Structure 1
């Protein structure tokens, strides 16, 4: 019997536990491993994505949010090749990348910062008043707002 790790399920989604989406992402074989990144929970409703983008300038990075998918793109500028250098080992990778993460409908991007080769994106869960948990009194009627329709 082998141990099953659910870690890949939680790497691709932030702010919600929709198993269907998590399993869809886990079953994809093209899960990116470059660049390395962390997803951190910094408070009850606060998250941070930290992407290691060593060697990239701030102008070579772009962050997009479309249809609740946060996409982080990196495209290095054209490098000049120095023919006098011979690499004995080349382990520093600086290639283009696209990292996409699905966000819950109530997760909003608050701030992005780039420092010391780390791109940090702060997120916050902002739950609308009508979606917040509420206490239901026992034995009392709950009044509903009645909507009025206007005939045209």
Structure 2
């Protein structure tokens, strides 16, 4: 049951609709706890998501990065009951399909992914383009404040 009504915020704010949509999704349903995962910061602009996917082979996992979302899916290739391995008396190891969706910040890209010892590691890096980085603007003083002539184009324009 939802106890917070975010409708007044939608009416009184401009440009924060994505933030309130994320809050809506976070409070609507608690995300399932399967499979467990960690999010680590490995550098100033580097991150790693580690998902426990024991029992899944590399071809049974898929990673899709689209816009600002990273989706990790796992599906078992076939039913294990059809294989002549014997009858399972108790199933305590989960082998069900899963889908985990992570919201990524702007300019975060997936660098690589690796599967080792039942853990799926997805490495992310935030790469801010040069056009978006802050730059220092020099301040001119009185004598150097005059505009500079490039290739004599100002003389040609005046003539």
The two structures share one fold, judged by TM-score above 0.5? yes
User: SS in structure 2 opposite 1:71?
Assistant: strand
| Structure 1 segments unaligned to the other structure (5+ residues) | 1-17, 144-152
Q: Which residue of 1 aligns with 2:111?
A: 110
Runs of 4+ in structure 1 over 6 Å off: none
Q: Which residue of 1 aligns with 2:89?
A: 86
Q: Report the structure, 1 or 2, having the larger helix content.
A: 2
- Higher relative contact order structure (alpha carbons within 8 Å, sequence separation ≥ 6): 1
Q: Which residue of 2 aligns with 1:134?
A: 135
In structure 2, distance between residues paired with 1:116 and 1:19: 36
Q: Is the CA contact 1:107–1:126 (under 8 Å) kept in the aligned structure 2?
A: yes
Q: Which residue of 1 aligns with 2:58?
A: 58
Report the Cα offset of residue 47 of structure 1: 0.5
Report the Cα offset of residue 55 of structure 1: 0.5
Q: TM-score, normalised by structure 1?
A: 0.70
Q: How does 1:2-151 map to 2 (within 5 A)?
A: 19-20=19-20, 22-81=22-81, 82=85, 84-87=87-90, 90-138=91-139
Report the Cα offset of residue 131 of structure 1: 1.2
User: SS in structure 1 opposite 2:80?
Assistant: coil
Report the Cα offset of residue 101 of structure 1: 0.9
Aligned pair count reads: 123
Q: Is the CA contact 1:32–1:99 (under 8 Å) kept in the aligned structure 2?
A: no
Report the Cα offset of residue 137 of structure 1: 4.0
| Structure 2 segments unaligned to the other structure (5+ residues) | 1-17, 148-159
Q: TM-score, normalised by structure 2?
A: 0.68
RMSD: 2.3
Which structure would you say has the larger Rg? Answer: 2
